[in-house]
Structure 1
């Protein structure tokens, strides 16, 4: 019965993952490439500035480094679900407005397959395309008409990760991900005119390798080090163009030659210092975008850098000589130089985070609330400043499986 219940819940959440409860976000920066690529982690790492590459912790699923799954506890089944609510204020040349949205951001499961081998699997958004542009366009010598260009879609990331505990200090892992999704552009001029739909779809595997080292440096303190590398992937995009009239009658449709987009390699490093009650983490991530610039493009790429750090305080409790985590408090910070360069300006994203984690009475469930406030971009020619507040709710289940009770 338990397996059926959890399986049904997982299927329900998978069906709802790509559906938005509310739609309103409209970011011009998602109009480039394959959209806004996600840089945050919506697990327990969120309140730490999404840091955790070097953290080897048995209490949660840490996809920032697949090597962490080697440390999952035996006979445990874990499941995470995350939802994000977002409020953004936009400001720029002749722009002053706000928008809000609610999204599913993460569904993940994990368990120990063998004494040295842990497995994680899940799905989450990888990139998002969501924008609407209005321009004045002259048709012949008449009065200008309003041209509307709308972009929607984005890529999802479905993955299976394996972590292997080679000895008590060292672990390695690999994450096999499948990137898939649509990139849609809809264009029309005026209220009664032809509509052009340019729809692209891509699917491609992507791989990330990771390693972690953890060892005591004193009686109470432990040091953790971690590193990952995401391999370069060339995405093939199948493209179809459709032209229809104001009554939605198809006038023309054609499958175009496929286009390609290269997702560059990315490496990351992280450090953790903990005594079980106080934990400090810090990460650095570098993406190799500079070599991907194309001649004639209206924008450019630079190598991207992301710096993040955070501190966590855990209230410990004792139960029959066993220590377990109670309330967890977090604070973090991140500084992100994105790869996108518009009007000779590299788009930067700076934010601060807070996190609160509470256990249920029976210890099987844990509720997590993360808050983030920050700013991306700045005002200027072809630029928009986005001031945002994010709220993340994470629900974690931890249950004992593969265990035969004494009374059975």
Structure 2
């Protein structure tokens, strides 16, 4: 029992598995969990596209170069929450689950005419699942309840800087600390007795990661054309691991510190385009991460290169406030298609979503409320696997104030 496969055989035996309330995704049982491929800011409703977009009116971490276009004398503070509803479909399986999670906290401002910066915290990956199964002791016909539960994930604490080189070009770099625990428990017995036994494996992962970016913005007739590109460097996540066997009352039967295992995050690159006439904004992104060969394949799944296509349209209604034209209601629609960084039983994990969003300012204009919606499908129910039908709801709040301007007037 020193090492165990976290839910892999249970996932493949879908007829015996039940998803529980509060579960994010059964697919988070693999690798380092579900990677956060979506952007939970004002980019959400356009398919999470925005590599070519400057941070004129919100903080855009999809490209660190965007902070070079932050407005002067303005401070931004942003926070995001997301709720998710899931329906699992598989062989003899039809279950629902749901949860609500923090997705983003960020602040940013223009430190000088050329230099913009942002500091934030967001999830990089998430592990959150619970699977029930029946195990049989060799030589007996009596089944014993077995529960496998995974929690935790990797967090991303970042500090991004950008320089606006001239009116057309900006460059930036995001320095991030990736850190977080992943805990897997495997329990036997359901009597509620203190003698029920479970195993627990804790793995704490950490390292620094860097992303560079560049953006261009120029005019072609009545249209503002934007282009952007990012490159995220390869990183090896170091880990500290321990394994224990315990009774339900936390009495330790066995405890051992395991040898550390690195997990490689391969390099990632992305490109994006945008076209805007002031009211209509078209956005499109492509992202690729070369996972194949980065880590050793497992018996139940293997690593493959991941790709993401996203795009959408945004329409802005303007209004006058204090004799100045400002953004009013903003509506969005978009699409995204993603192939995950793993395949299970030689089946790729595909994710397709349709998005919509709306942003509305407060009466003073300093606070903007954003609501994003997404309906999508991930995975497949063939080969004994599980298909997820999901709905995401995002609430994003953006506070914008002229703090530095007020300080200079005093």
Matched residue, 1:9: none
Q: Distance in 2 between matches of 1:323 and 1:26?
A: 42
Matched residue, 1:151: 150
Counterparts in 2 of 1:50 and 1:165: CA distance versus 1, 3 Å: same
Counterparts in 2 of 1:295 and 1:279: CA distance versus 1, 3 Å: closer
Query: Any conservation in 1 of the 2:24–2:98 contact (CA below 8 Å)?
Result: no
Q: Distance in 1 between matches of 2:352 and 2:100?
A: 21
Counterparts in 2 of 1:180 and 1:361: CA distance versus 1, 3 Å: same
CA apart distance, 1:27:
2.0
| Residue number among 200, 206, 217 corresponding to 2:203 in the alignment | 200
Secondary structure of the residue aligned to 2:52 is coil
Q: Distance in 2 between matches of 1:262 and 1:296?
A: 14
Matched residue, 1:254: 256
Matched residue, 1:53: 51
**5+ residue gaps, structure 1:** 1-21
Q: Distance in 2 between matches of 1:114 and 1:94?
A: 61
Counterparts in 2 of 1:381 and 1:348: CA distance versus 1, 3 Å: same
| Residue number among 214, 217, 221 corresponding to 2:217 in the alignment | 214
After superposition, residues 241-320 of structure 1 pair within 5 angstroms as 241-294=243-296, 296-319=298-321
What is the CA deviation profile of residues 264-308 of structure 1, one whole-angstrom value per residue up to 9, with x for unaligned ones? 111000000001100000000001111225255320111111000
Counterparts in 2 of 1:296 and 1:213: CA distance versus 1, 3 Å: closer
After superposition, residues 106-255 of structure 1 pair within 5 angstroms as 106-142=104-140, 143-191=142-190, 192-218=195-221, 220-255=222-257
Query: Any conservation in 1 of the 2:297–2:303 contact (CA below 8 Å)?
Result: no
Query: Any conservation in 1 of the 2:21–2:96 contact (CA below 8 Å)?
Result: no
CA apart distance, 1:89:
0.7
| Residue number among 359, 362, 367 corresponding to 1:357 in the alignment | 359
**Is the counterpart of residue 64 in structure 1 residue 67 in structure 2?**
no
Counterparts in 2 of 1:328 and 1:101: CA distance versus 1, 3 Å: same
Secondary structure of the residue aligned to 2:254 is strand
Q: Distance in 1 between matches of 2:188 and 2:177?
A: 37
Equivalent residue pairs, number:
386
**5+ residue gaps, structure 2:** 1-19
Counterparts in 2 of 1:149 and 1:405: CA distance versus 1, 3 Å: closer
Secondary structure of the residue aligned to 1:290 is coil
Counterparts in 2 of 1:291 and 1:326: CA distance versus 1, 3 Å: same
Secondary structure of the residue aligned to 2:249 is coil
Matched residue, 1:5: none
Query: Any conservation in 2 of the 1:376–1:387 contact (CA below 8 Å)?
Result: yes
Q: Distance in 2 between matches of 1:298 and 1:55?
A: 40
**Is the counterpart of residue 392 in structure 1 residue 390 in structure 2?**
no
Matched residue, 1:102: 100
CA apart distance, 1:169:
0.1
CA apart distance, 1:138:
2.5
Q: Distance in 1 between matches of 2:295 and 2:252?
A: 36
CA apart distance, 1:115:
0.6
Tell me the TM-score normalized by structure 2.
Answer: 0.91
Q: Distance in 1 between matches of 2:408 and 2:174?
A: 37
Q: Which runs of 4+ in 1 moved over 4 A?
A: 404-408
CA apart distance, 1:101:
0.7
Q: Distance in 2 between matches of 1:281 and 1:296?
A: 37
Query: Any conservation in 2 of the 1:93–1:381 contact (CA below 8 Å)?
Result: no
Query: Any conservation in 1 of the 2:46–2:356 contact (CA below 8 Å)?
Result: yes
Query: Any conservation in 2 of the 1:23–1:102 contact (CA below 8 Å)?
Result: no
Cα RMSD, aligned residues only: 1.6
Tell me the TM-score normalized by structure 1.
Answer: 0.91
Query: Any conservation in 2 of the 1:186–1:197 contact (CA below 8 Å)?
Result: yes
Q: Distance in 2 between matches of 1:407 and 1:168?
A: 28
Q: Distance in 1 between matches of 2:97 and 2:204?
A: 27
Query: Any conservation in 1 of the 2:24–2:99 contact (CA below 8 Å)?
Result: no
Q: Distance in 2 between matches of 1:319 and 1:234?
A: 50
Q: Distance in 2 between matches of 1:404 and 1:344?
A: 60
Q: Distance in 1 between matches of 2:188 and 2:408?
A: 72
What is the CA deviation profile of residues 41-79 of structure 1, one whole-angstrom value per residue up to 9, with x for unaligned ones? 011000000000011241110000000000001110001
